[in-house]
Amino acid sequence: MNRKDELALKVTKEIAVKLIEVGRLSVNSFETVWKQIHKTVYSSINDADKDINN
């Protein structure tokens, strides 16, 4: 697993944990929300990396 993948998973996990703690994420919607969070986080990491390299 490369660095970006690992970072995206860690950040996604932290966001999901916080949403569970505040009651905004339930077991029923976990899979869908996880995918949405991960997609957004991964996209943000890639965009930030592109900005840094340009």
Answer whether residue 54 shows pLDDT above 80: no
Tell me: the pLDDT tens digits for 1-53?
A: 899 999 999 999 999 999 999 999 999 999 999 999 999 999 999 998 787 88
- 16 Cβ contact partners less than 8 Å away, ≥ 6 residues apart: 25, 30, 33, 34, 37
Q: How many CB atoms lie within 10 A of CB 45?
A: 16
> Among candidates 51, 36, 52, 46, which has minimal Cα distance to 7?
46
